[in-house]
């Protein structure tokens, strides 16, 4: 059984661990090894998450998923849509779940909690960027997201294509859970 709760500052290390492990398992065959090495390290991610959790504003929401014994095995982070190029006001910045906990409904729990929070805070729509070659994009499609655009992102020294998926109405996403 899992539980989803709002992230706290003391969760930074566990969130960083999930972030790094998930990047390695998810992107190990998608992103060149030398590019991954340039951007992913536990120390860097821990410092990043400590900074984010210390300076949180109302426009950023972070939730963790934990096991019954309190082990953090996934997280979701997001808030305002950052590019201002699309007609979406909300954005999922990151959602990662340890590989051994995937496929158990945890992603849906995180996504539902996040969507409820966005709606409660006045958001109307949601966007998420996913590496185009990431098979996890099917997760978003399963919950009704539609491809919106594609662009290129630099990771390390490499350039990779990513696809934006969107829910035009947050209620469409929330209806997937009822």
What the block records as the tokens of 30 is: 């998608």
CA 75/CA 111 separation, integer angstroms: 10
At 91 the pLDDT is: 97
CB 97 within 8 A of CB 175: no
pLDDT computed for residue 106 by the predictor: 96
DSSP string for residues in the chain: -EEEEE--GGGHHHHHHHHHHHHHHHHTTTS-HHHHHHH--HHHHHHHHHHHHHS--TTEEEEEEEETT--EEEEEEEEE-SS--SS-SEEEEEEEE-GGGTTSSHHHHHHHHHHHHHHHTT---EEEEEETT-TTHHHHHHTT-EEEEEEEEEETTEEEEEEEEEESSHHHHHHTT-
pLDDT of 178 above 90: no
Taking 80 as the threshold, does the pLDDT of residue 57 lie above it? no
Q: Supply the pLDDT for residue 55.
A: 86
Q: For the whole model, what pTM was predicted?
A: 0.95
pLDDT value for 59? 77
What is the per-residue pLDDT for 16? 97
Taking the chain, what is the end-to-end CA distance rounded to the nearest angstrom?
Answer: 20
Task: Give dist(CA 173, CA 102) in Å, integer.
Answer: 20
- The mean predicted confidence, pLDDT, of the chain is 94
Contact 61, 77 (CB under 8 A): yes
Identify the domain containing residue 46 by its residue range.
2-175
- pLDDT tens readout for residues 16-41: 999 999 999 999 889 999 998 888 89
Q: What is the CATH number of the domain that holds 39?
A: 3.40.630.30
The span from the CA of 32 to the CA of 93, in Å, is 22
Model pLDDT for residues 122-169, shown as the tens digit of each residue: 999 999 999 999 988 999 999 999 999 999 999 999 999 999 999 999
Number of domains in the chain: 1
Judge whether residue 58 has pLDDT over 70: no
- pLDDT at res. 56: 64
pLDDT, tens digit, 9 for 90 and up, residues 62-79: 999 999 999 999 999 999
């Amino acid at each position: 059984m899992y539980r989803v709760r709002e992230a706290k500052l003391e969760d930074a290390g566990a969130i960083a661990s999930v972030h790094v492990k998930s990047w390695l398992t998810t992107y190990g065959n998608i992103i060149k090894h030398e590019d991954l090495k340039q951007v992913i390290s536990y120390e860097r991610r821990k410092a990043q998450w400590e900074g984010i959790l210390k300076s949180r504003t109302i426009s950023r929401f972070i939730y963790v998923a934990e096991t019954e014994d309190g082990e953090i095995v996934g997280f979701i982070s997001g808030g305002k849509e950052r590019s201002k190029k699309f007609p979406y006001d909300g954005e999922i910045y990151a959602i990662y779940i340890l590989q051994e906990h995937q496929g158990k409904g945890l992603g849906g729990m995180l996504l539902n909690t996040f969507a409820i929070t966005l709606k409660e805070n006045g958001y109307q729509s949601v966007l998420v960027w996913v590496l185009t070659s990431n098979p996890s994009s099917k997760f978003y499609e399963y919950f009704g997201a539609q491809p919106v655009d594609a662009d290129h992102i630099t990771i390390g020294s490499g350039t990779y294509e990513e696809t934006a998926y969107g829910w035009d109405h947050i209620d469409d996403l929330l209806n997937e859970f009822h």
